[in-house]
Amino acid sequence: MISVHNYGSAELFQKKVIEMQLLEQKIVDLFGHGTKRTMDRREIAERLNLRGGERKLLTKALFQLIRIELLEERKGRYRLKEQRKMTEGVFSLADKGFGFLRLDELPDGRQQEDLFIPARHVGTVMDGDRVLVSCRISARDRRPYGQALKVLQRAHSRLIGHYQQRGKGGEVWPIDQKLGGPVLVSKQSDIPPGTVVEIEIERYASTELPATGRIVEQLGSVDDPQVDIETVIRSHDLPHRFSTASMHQAETLGTTISAEEIAQRIDLRDLPLVTIDGETARDFDDAVALHKEKDGSFRLWVCIADVGHYVEKASAIDQDALDRGTSVYFPGFCLPMLPEALSNGICSLNPNEDRLVMTAEMHIDQSGHPVKAKFYPAVMRSQARLTYTQVAECLASPKESSLGKPLVSQLLEMAELAKILTHMRQERGSLNLDLPEVEIRLDEQGRPVDLVKTERNQAHRLIEEFMLAANEAVARFLTNNSWPFLYRIHEKPELLKLQELQQLAAECGIGLILGKRLQQSLQTLLIDAAGRPEARLINQQLLRSLQQACYSPQNSGHFGLAAECYCHFTSPIRRYPDLIVHRVLKLALSGSPKSSSASFAELQTLGKECSAKERRALKAERDLIDLRSCQIMAGRVGDEFLGTISSVTEFGFFVELDDLYVDGLVHVRTLQDDYYHFDSASMALTGERRRISYRVGMQVRIKVKKVELWRRRIDFILVDLPGRHQVKTDVG
């Protein structure tokens, strides 16, 4: 045991402690990598090339390692103990070379904490690989870490990269830097250097040899915006070609509805149903109509495209839809879940065309509570294709609207009901996260030219309320009738993340009580933050603190909506879980036995698949949006902007631009007026000499310094430095 009394001063003592920890780590690493399982003290000293004082520390280090059960001694020879059984999981690589292993779920469904893997123990593992690791305990800080032993399953058999010539051969540098260094390929004289290509890996990299592969396709020039889309699609393994059988099946569906089919359905073609979507929408899967009763209650019709009528279970189209799981929306481009003949054709509720739908007809009282609901297959004819902008303008100035008196009257009643439904949900604790988004404007060639902030208007909220009401009504009906189906669940957030949100709110001068009425407290927080400069930050942090919603046949409720049971029913053109719910609803309405539906186990598997594919799509969408944002900001290097500090770390702080909602990093090394320390308690960087603090919520002026497209990273430098401009240090 090392004691401070043996070394005379605290500084010398601390130095010896560090030396001891380093020596202990060297010993553990020696046994972990060594070819010999046992060694005596002399062998250890020689292999570690210990001299002088280090040799004197060796005995103490070995004794300490035995005490913490890392080593054991037998007849003067030492060996590394078996610390924990081998484990496996999916590897995620960080920018700086280290990584984390996402361990498999426990039998009871609980997720284990990720295992840290130091850079020296990563080896040739690639991001996303399934890996077998040995679990160890660090001699320095006693924390667990992993060492990659074997790749069990490769995540990437192909990759996208830039082709470069190299002597008599060629090499491809992966666009995704997490996939390692260059892959050697044969020289291609017909491919210009810098061309984006897709390669198939023939030999993965080892400690001795680099990876090799062959070019399977040229995607085009790095400056082509369509190549960016192709790159993101392939990098995220998004299915992007429909099978021949699926396309043939779609072509045979036709474009009209038979009289026989219409005769079997409730006819809603005289009902004033309308669609309300964005200006650029091409697939319309929901239409709404409303009638206000004499007693002040409402009768709401929500008609949803009857995709299940055209897409039979286990058909070619169904298999392609399941493979995709969801449509993927990029700026200016959509990767649909269904072939265009369905998504924009026979299933889309185009104006003035007969269409088959599944209808939720709901009677809602004056307080927004459901009175009664019924569901049935129907045929409808949309009376108008309205946009959010049209509806918002009509609601703002109804007397000046050109939509016609009957339609204007119906829209005003819809707005009245939507307001009642919103109030009802807020009363029960539903969270209304109303985050403005950024629209990426493109030129005629599809190149990004501008970022424009878009606000959600009254029309967005109107349609959202009606879709939520229909989804809840269907979930209640199927639950009450004991039908197994896929719920959309959203579990309660973890306490640690809520405490981080509480700390941010306190930094902004807003209180948050984490008690039994948590949902109401969070809603109050959003109301208190509204209109403040920090409102968007608080909304974002609240969103990050929430669990990710997913699909499951086990009903856990929906925390964010404060709903006891909830499902996705209203978007079967673009979401596969909605199609599953449609099929179950049809079986329930037809009086079929419950055995004719998918089993709980089958639904559990489908729920996990659909949740994973939803996350894949969201990551791909975010990846391209980040790239497009960086491409736009690359043309604005040197420009100055106002922004708000969104997070603070030991290496600097991130600033979100007020008008563009683009994040960038102000690195601490660019703050040259002082030496700054990071305080994890207050989440602030504070100058040692001048005591200027940078904390979340502060407004600052920055200049765009550098943009790295491949890392999707923007670097800022602070313009308003202390001394030249007064920087607020109190955000309360």
Any domain includes 551: yes
Residue 368 sits in the same domain as residue 387: yes
Q: Provide φ and ψ at 586, rounded to 5°.
A: -65, -40
If asked whether residues 265 and 330 sit together in one domain, one would say: yes
Residues 276 and 387: beta-carbon distance below 8 Å: yes
Alpha-carbon distance of 252 to 247, in angstroms, equals: 9
Inside any domain, residue 201: yes
> What is the per-residue pLDDT for 141?
67
Q: Tokens 């948590």 sit at which residue? A: 518
- pLDDT at res. 309: 97
Instruction: Assign 225 to helix, strand or coil.
Output: helix
- Owning domain of residue 170: 158-222
Specify if 75 maps to a domain.
yes
In single-letter form, the type of residue at position 167 comes to G
Per the CB < 8 A criterion, the answer to whether 124 and 141 are in contact is no
Residue 507 lies in a domain: no
Beta bridge partners of 718: 702
* Measured distance CA(434)–CA(540) in Å, rounded: 10
Query: What is the number of structural domains in the chain?
Result: 5
Rounded CA separation 313/586 (Å): 13
Q: Report pLDDT digits (tens) over 96-122.
A: 788 999 887 666 656 677 889 988 888
Indicate which CATH number applies to the domain containing 712.
2.40.50.140
DSSP codes joined into one string, 38-50: EEEHHHHHHHTT-
Residue 17 pLDDT: 64
- Given 605, 624, 643, the domain boundary residue is 624
Which two three-digit tokens encode residue 153? 């399953």
Same domain, 97 and 198: no
Q: Is residue 450 part of a domain?
A: yes
Q: How far, CA to CA in Å, does 274 sit from each of 280, 346, 407, 498?
A: 17, 17, 9, 41
Q: Using an 8 Å Cβ cutoff, are 585 and 358 in contact?
A: yes
Domain boundary among 53, 80, 107: 80
CB contact at 8 A, 623 and 712: yes
33 and 126, same domain (yes or no): no
Helix-then-strand count for the chain, H and E: 17, 34
> Distance between CA atoms of 323 and 239, rounded to whole angstroms?
7
Ramachandran quadrant class, 550 (left: phi over 0; alpha: psi -120 to 50; beta: rest): beta
Q: Does residue 599 form part of some domain?
A: yes
Same structural domain for residues 149 and 163? no
Q: How far is CA 348 from the centre of its chain?
A: 28
Task: Please give the pLDDT value at position 5.
Answer: 46
Q: What is the Cα–Cα distance from 411 to 274, expressed in whole angstroms?
A: 10
Q: Say whether both 349 and 217 belong to one domain.
A: no
Does residue 732 sit within a domain? no
Write the DSSP assignment of 256-296 as a string of letters: S--HHHHHTSEE-TTS--EEEE-TT-----EEEEEEE-TTS
In what helix (H) or strand (E) does residue 585 lie, and over which residues does it extend?
helix 576-590
pLDDT, mean over the chain: 88
In a domain, 530, yes or no: no
Q: How far apart are CA 598 and CA 309, in angstroms?
A: 18
pLDDT at position 605, please?
A: 96
Give the CATH number for residue 59: 1.10.10.10
Of 506, 290, 499, 586, residue with least CA distance to 409: 290
pLDDT in the model for residue 722: 40
Distances (CA, A) of 388 to 131, 209, 278, 328, 606: 48, 57, 6, 21, 34
CA angle at 321 for the pair 554 and 246, rounded to the nearest 5°: 150
- What's the pLDDT score for residue 18? 64
Domain termination residue (choose one: 80, 99, 127): 80
The residue ranges of the chain whose pLDDT is under 50 are 1-8, 83, 721-732
Looking at the structure, tell me whether residues 597 and 664 fall in a common domain.
no
